[in-house]
């Protein structure tokens, strides 16, 4: 495990923050923390990075307690409200960042070439950051987070300022970094982002963890079926997949854990003299789950 927390808690005078979070992230995984504004996502990342001190519980990164100085060098971080030094050029910002990481000058120069290419800012590196658009600022922030070639990358809402194309670019960057074996811890409230890049997700609500698992595990993909000549045998077979199937006339709604089961379900309906008129996965289910999980107001 590259990240591990055990009942980690950080509150501000007993309020806000997060409470008793236990989770672990494997090497090479893209892990997303999902929650609405104020859920405690940024506080959690900042505590893992050692910027905030936890009230109780334990946390480890790369086998060392959180806050360990040597470990910080192996971590990249894109804060949610990245402080831009507007008077610098993108190149100068990255160069200074490299010096802070104690990289040598030749290494910094080579690496700047690479990261500028990765984040798609080629041709803009010598412009002052004050002339950058929001999206370009977010990209230069991402470039500085990956400059030191970290093992783990903490990205706090990396696409909040980007247009749909920019979001896709960042998703592609995340997947490219994952291919290189990096571990990525992502804070977001964008469900599409979570669905498209994450291996596992935790849902945080008012500082407490409500759910954790792979998207498939969390969703149990609801499937709608429309069946003619529906009979007891079919119902009994379907109940083997989901005990709590919902039946209304010839319509069935059920949870299917694994897509591999879909053709088997179709086969079983036909074998038992049913007619399968429709089999459809419900859309936007992550959004439904999210709203159901964190949506209720006090
Ligand atoms: N330094 C602080 N002092 C006091 N309260 C704080 C501090 N930082 C955060 N909080 C509170 O802790 C809670 C969680 O804040 P946090 O920034 O972690 O949420 P978040 O999930 O990142 O939200 P967002 O999606 O808006 O970024 C909020 O109620 C916030 O007001
Ligand atoms: Mg935040």
pLDDT tens by residue, 95-122: 999 999 889 999 999 999 999 999 999 9
CB 12 less than 6 A from any atom of ligand 1 = yes
Checking if the pLDDT of 237 tops 70, the result is yes
Please report the pLDDT score of residue 188 as a whole number.
87
**DSSP-derived secondary structure letter, 181:** T
Please report the pLDDT score of residue 296 as a whole number.
59
Q: Can you tell me the distance from the alpha carbon of 277 to that of 271, in angstroms, rounded to the nearest whole number?
A: 14
Q: Can you tell me the distance from the alpha carbon of 66 to that of 54, in angstroms, rounded to the nearest whole number?
A: 9
Q: Read off the pLDDT of residues 66-84 as tens digits, 9 standing for 90 and up.
A: 989 889 889 999 998 777 7
Task: State the pLDDT confidence band at 218, using cuts at 50, 70 and 90.
Answer: confident
Q: How far is CA 123 from CA 134, 145, 150, 197, in A?
A: 17, 20, 25, 28
Q: Read off the pLDDT of residues 155-176 as tens digits, 9 standing for 90 and up.
A: 999 888 788 888 888 888 899 8
Please report the pLDDT score of residue 14 as a whole number.
85
**H or E element at residue 102:** none
Of 50, 56, 62, 64, whose CA–CA distance to 18 is shortest? 56
**DSSP-derived secondary structure letter, 282:** P
Checking if the pLDDT of 227 tops 80, the result is yes
Please report the pLDDT score of residue 40 as a whole number.
96
Nearest CA to ligand 1 atom 24: 37
Average pLDDT, the chain: 90
Closest ligand (CA of 33): 1
Helices marked H in the chain — which ranges? 41-48, 69-72, 90-100, 105-119, 134-146, 164-179, 191-197, 215-219, 232-241, 261-271, 285-294
How many other C-beta atoms can be found within 10 angstroms of the C-beta atom of residue 6?
13
Of 210, 170, 212, whose CA–CA distance to 192 is shortest? 170
Q: Can you tell me the distance from the alpha carbon of 28 to that of 174, in angstroms, rounded to the nearest whole number?
A: 11
Q: What percent of the chain has pLDDT over 70?
A: 97
Strand duo 208-213 + 56-61: pairing: unpaired
Mean pLDDT calculated for residue range 247-258: 88
**Pocket mutation for ligand 1, best pick of 39, 158, 206 (most atoms within 8 Å of C-beta):** 39
Domain ranges across the chain: 3-217, 222-281
What's the sign of the alpha-carbon dihedral 29, 35, 37, 43? negative
Of residues 5 and 191, more confidence is placed in 5
Q: Are 9 and 52 within 8 A, CB to CB?
A: no
Range in 227-236, 258-267, 272-281 with the lowest mean pLDDT: 258-267
CA–centroid distance, residue 144 to ligand 2 (Å): 19
Specify the fold of 222-281.
Alpha-Beta Plaits (3.30.70)
Of residues 67 and 289, more confidence is placed in 67
Checking if the pLDDT of 27 tops 60, the result is yes
Of residues 133 and 96, more confidence is placed in 96
Report yes or no on whether pTM surpasses 0.85. Answer: no
Task: State the pLDDT confidence band at 264, using cuts at 50, 70 and 90.
Answer: very high
**Pocket mutation for ligand 1, best pick of 41, 154, 294 (most atoms within 8 Å of C-beta):** 41
Q: At what angle do helices 105-119 and 90-100 cross, to 10 degrees?
A: 130
CA–centroid distance, residue 104 to ligand 2 (Å): 33
Q: Are 9 and 19 within 8 A, CB to CB?
A: yes
Which of left, alpha, beta for 57 (phi over 0: left; psi -120 to 50: alpha)?
A: left
184 forms bridges with which residues in the sheet?
30, 153
Q: Can you tell me the distance from the alpha carbon of 124 to that of 116, in angstroms, rounded to the nearest whole number?
A: 9
How many other C-beta atoms can be found within 10 angstroms of the C-beta atom of residue 228?
11
Mean pLDDT calculated for residue range 196-225: 87
Q: Give the CATH H-level superfamily of domain 3-217.
A: P-loop containing nucleotide triphosphate hydrolases (3.40.50.300)
Please report the pLDDT score of residue 298 as a whole number.
43
Please report the pLDDT score of residue 284 as a whole number.
58
């Amino acid at each position: 495990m590259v990240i591990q927390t055990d009942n980690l808690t950080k509150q501000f005078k007993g309020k806000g923050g997060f409470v008793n979070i236990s989770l672990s992230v494997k090497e090479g995984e893209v892990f997303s923390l999902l929650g609405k504004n104020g859920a405690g996502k940024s506080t959690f990342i900042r505590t893992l990075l050692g910027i905030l001190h936890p009230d109780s519980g334990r946390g480890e990164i790369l086998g060392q307690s959180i806050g360990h100085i040597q470990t910080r060098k192996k971590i990249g971080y894109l804060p949610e409200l990245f402080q831009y030094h507007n008077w610098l050029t993108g190149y100068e910002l990255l160069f200074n960042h490299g010096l802070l990481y104690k990289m040598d000058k030749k290494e910094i120069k080579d690496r700047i070439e690479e990261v500028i290419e990765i984040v798609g800012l080629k041709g803009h590196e010598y412009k002052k950051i004050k002339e950058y658009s929001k999206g370009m600022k977010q990209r230069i922030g991402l470039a500085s987070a990956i400059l030191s070639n970290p093992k783990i990358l903490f990205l706090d809402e990396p696409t909040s300022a980007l247009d749909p194309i920019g979001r896709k670019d960042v998703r592609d960057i995340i997947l490219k970094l994952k291919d290189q074996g990096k571990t990525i811890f992502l804070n977001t409230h964008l469900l599409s982002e979570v669905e498209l890049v994450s291996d596992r997700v935790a849902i945080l609500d008012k500082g407490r963890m409500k759910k954790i698992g792979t998207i498939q595990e969390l969703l149990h993909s609801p499937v709608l079926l429309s069946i003619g000549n529906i009979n007891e045998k079919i119902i009994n077979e379907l109940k083997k997949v989901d005990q709590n199937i919902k039946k209304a006339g010839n319509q069935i709604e059920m949870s299917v854990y694994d897509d591999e089961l879909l053709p088997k379900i179709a086969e079983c309906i036909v074998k038992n003299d049913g007619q399968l008129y429709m089999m459809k996965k419900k859309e936007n289910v992550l959004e439904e789950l999210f709203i159901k999980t964190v949506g209720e107001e006090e």
